[in-house]
Chains A and B, each alone.
Chain A
Amino acid sequence: EAGVAQSPRYKIIEKRQSVAFWCNPISGHATLYWYQQILGQGPKLLIQFQNNGVVDDSQLPKDRFSAERLKGVDSTLKIQPAKLEDSAVYLCASSPGASFTGELFFGEGSRLTVL
């Protein structure tokens, strides 16, 4: 079974530029998550989708971050304009149920460096 796919793996941009990350969850998984992991810290939830609807985006900096999950499958996370403090690994995860029931399956992450 294919795992969660993310791209790009690495991205370096200047501050105030924009960037987009893409995630393809495990086939059939209803719930998709975007986490931000700053170096030396645990993952922090940015947004949670259930099918193509947003369940929780309370920690998403909405003035610069946006995310969508069209047709309840793939998802994109966009940052515009980027700040230095956005340097982090952006992890996408998925889980099979329509509501949280246990294991999250993570992708390998997209590492963003903002200069």
Chain B
Amino acid sequence: GENVEQHPSTLSVQEGDSAVIKCTYSDSASNYFPWYKQELGKGPQLIIDIRSNVGEKKDQRIAVTLNKTAKHFSLHITETQPEDSAVYFCAATFNSGYSTLTFGKGTMLLVSP
């Protein structure tokens, strides 16, 4: 099945700095790569996604890049704020006749004021 590796497991930055989280996937047929944010006691919430026909996508302070050849994708958060503190999960589709998501292990981002 699909395997999604995510690094780093924890990331501490100062408010205003940038944060980058990286993921690699194993299934070359994967074609959809979302990022979810999970706050304490809540379920994961989609923050941005990218499909395999696009190399980069941006939404305000958040951007995602995809390198299909290398089978890796990254989340970039600029001008971080304390409210960005949360656990971030990358995911990739695993195609076996139908599609389902496989998640990485998560990155705990802490933004200090």
Contacts and interface: CB of A to CB of B under 8 A. Distances in A.
A32 interface: no
Contacts, number: 57
Contacts of B89: 42-43
B34 A103 contact: yes
Given A41-B105, A106-B44, A107-B43, 18 more contacts: A4-B43, A40-B106, A41-B106, A42-B89, A42-B104, A48-B100, A56-B96, A91-B44, A100-B98, A100-B99, A100-B100, A102-B32, A102-B34, A102-B49, A103-B34, A104-B44, A104-B101, A109-B43
B28 interface: no
A104 B103 CA distance: 12
Chain A interface mostly helix, strand, loop or mixed?
loop
B45 interface: yes
Given A102-B32, A104-B101, A43 B46 contact: no
A104 B46 contact: yes
Contacts of B105: 40-42
A41 B96 CA distance: 23
B61 interface: no
